[in-house]
């Protein structure tokens, strides 16, 4: 009796230790200071890409657990052209830069808007989408001018260009800062704030499935561009991605991507040319 118990104990200990061992021994020291080159990625047979998991229709997970969206289509295409598999790393907006710079991912395809501040810390490849900041609110209490936000509660997502805009250019609104898209939209629906600000493109998509809301302010600030983010100094991957985007533009990939992933979610007030970049 005692012996059996000892054997079981020993066995389970062995299993646990081997699991731990395999977990800890796979510590990889492959990431250099500048990230993995295209050659290294190809050799590893896998590219790690940061995506959103809760941003319909750009990067989200459907009911079968499959990742879907505009960014995901691009990720798949890039992996295909590199001849490797994709490993998705789900991130929140404010973790994108750190995920790149700590080598957790090779590429960020997470609605990453190019800004001067970001360009100081990471590299951007050529843009694949146009975007500006928008503000959505309830139809019954529609916000159409920024001045209407004075002293009102405004929902932002941490680490987005919309947040930066309202922190630097217009400071009279009271910002509620959330970590994830799920949380920010949930808070809006619960009526925790008067309006939400984020990239206009997915505000358009969101209001389409929430008919009592409307994008009252369609464009704020200047037109911005969304690009793949790459760790600072990773020349090899940057060059490759730039030529990849050129290639995809020539083959009308982005328009097809738009029609497949975005069009079903957008209202009539958005056209393919509002989002994609043809040149």
Task: Give the helix/strand (H/E) hosting 17.
Answer: helix 2-25
Identify the residue among 117, 169, 235, 267 touching other proteins (CB under 8 A): 117
Q: Which residue, 23 or 147, is less far from other proteins as judged by CB?
A: 23
Residue 26 interacting with other proteins (CB under 8 A): yes
Interaction pattern, residues 168-197, with other proteins; x per rule: CB under 8 A: --------xxxxxxxx-xxx-xxxx-----
Q: Which residue, 38 or 97, is less far from other proteins as judged by CB?
A: 97
Distance CA(114)–CA(226), nearest Å, equals 6
Range 77-116, binding other proteins (CB under 8 A) = 89-95, 97-99, 101-104
Q: Which residue, 60 or 254, is less far from other proteins as judged by CB?
A: 60
Residue 54 interacting with other proteins (CB under 8 A): yes
Quickly count: other Cβ atoms within 10 Å of residue 151's Cβ.
8
- Cis upstream peptide for 57 (omega within 30°): yes
Residue 42 interacting with other proteins (CB under 8 A): no
DSSP 50-117: EE-SEETTTEEE-TTS-EESHHHHHHHHHHHHHT-EEEEEE--GGGHHHHHHTTS-SEE-S--B--HH
Q: Which residue, 82 or 156, is less far from other proteins as judged by CB?
A: 156
Identify the residue among 7, 9, 10, 32 touching other proteins (CB under 8 A): 32
In the chain, the N- to C-terminal Cα span, in Å, equals: 76
Pick the stretch among 52-60, 216-224, 242-250, 270-278 that binds other proteins (CB under 8 A).
52-60
Structure tokens of 35? 């990230």
Interaction pattern, residues 195-224, with other proteins; x per rule: CB under 8 A: -----------x--xx--------------
Distance CA(207)–CA(162), nearest Å, equals 17
Q: In what order do the strands lie in the sheet with 46-51?
A: 85-90, 46-51, 107-108, 229-231, 122-124
Range 118-147, binding other proteins (CB under 8 A) = 118, 120-121
Identify the residue among 42, 138, 158, 260 touching other proteins (CB under 8 A): 158
Residue 70 CB, nearest distance to other proteins (Å)? 15
Residue 11 interacting with other proteins (CB under 8 A): no
Per-residue CA distances from 16 to 22, 23, 212 (Å): 10, 11, 53
Pick the stretch among 2-10, 130-138, 155-163, 246-254 that binds other proteins (CB under 8 A).
155-163
Contact 197, 166 (CB under 8 A): yes
Per-residue CA distances from 98 to 62, 78, 87, 105, 238 (Å): 27, 22, 17, 9, 18
Between vectors from CA 153 to CA 152 and to CA 157, what angle results, nearest 5°?
A: 140
Number of residues that bind other proteins (CB under 8 A): 66
Identify the residue among 2, 3, 4, 28 touching other proteins (CB under 8 A): 28
Residues in contact with other proteins by CB under 8 A are: 16, 19-20, 23-24, 26-33, 53-56, 60-65, 89-95, 97-99, 101-104, 117-118, 120-121, 155, 158-160, 163-164, 167, 176-183, 185-187, 189-192, 206, 209-210
């Amino acid at each position: 009796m005692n012996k059996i118990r000892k054997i079981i104990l020993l066995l389970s200990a062995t299993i646990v230790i081997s699991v731990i061992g395999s977990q800890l021994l796979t510590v990889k020291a492959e990431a250099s200071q500048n990230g993995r080159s295209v050659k290294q990625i190809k050799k590893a047979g896998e590219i790690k890409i940061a995506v959103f998991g809760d941003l319909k229709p750009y990067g989200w997970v459907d009911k079968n657990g499959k990742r879907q969206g505009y960014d995901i289509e691009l990720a798949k295409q890039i992996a295909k052209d590199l001849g490797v598999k994709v490993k998705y790393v789900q991130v929140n907006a404010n973790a994108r830069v750190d995920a790149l710079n700590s080598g957790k991912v090779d590429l960020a395809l997470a609605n990453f808007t190019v800004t001067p501040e970001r360009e100081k810390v990471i590299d951007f490849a050529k843009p694949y989408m146009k975007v500006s900041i928008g503000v959505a609110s309830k139809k019954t209490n529609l916000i159409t001018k920024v001045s209407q936000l004075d002293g009102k509660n405004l929902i932002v997502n941490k680490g987005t260009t919309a947040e930066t805009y309202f922190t630097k250019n217009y400071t009279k609104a009271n910002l509620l800062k959330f970590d994830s898209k799920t949380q920010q939209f949930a808070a809006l629906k619960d009526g925790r704030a008067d309006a939400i600000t984020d990239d206009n493109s997915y505000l358009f998509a969101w209001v389409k499935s929430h008919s009592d809301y409307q994008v009252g302010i369609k464009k704020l600030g200047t037109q911005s561009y969304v690009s793949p983010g790459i760790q600072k100094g990773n020349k090899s991957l940057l060059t490759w991605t730039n030529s990849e985007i050129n290639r995809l533009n020539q083959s009308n990939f982005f328009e097809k991507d738009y029609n497949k992933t975005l069009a079903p979610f957008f209202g009539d007030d958005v056209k393919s040319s509002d989002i994609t970049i043809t040149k």
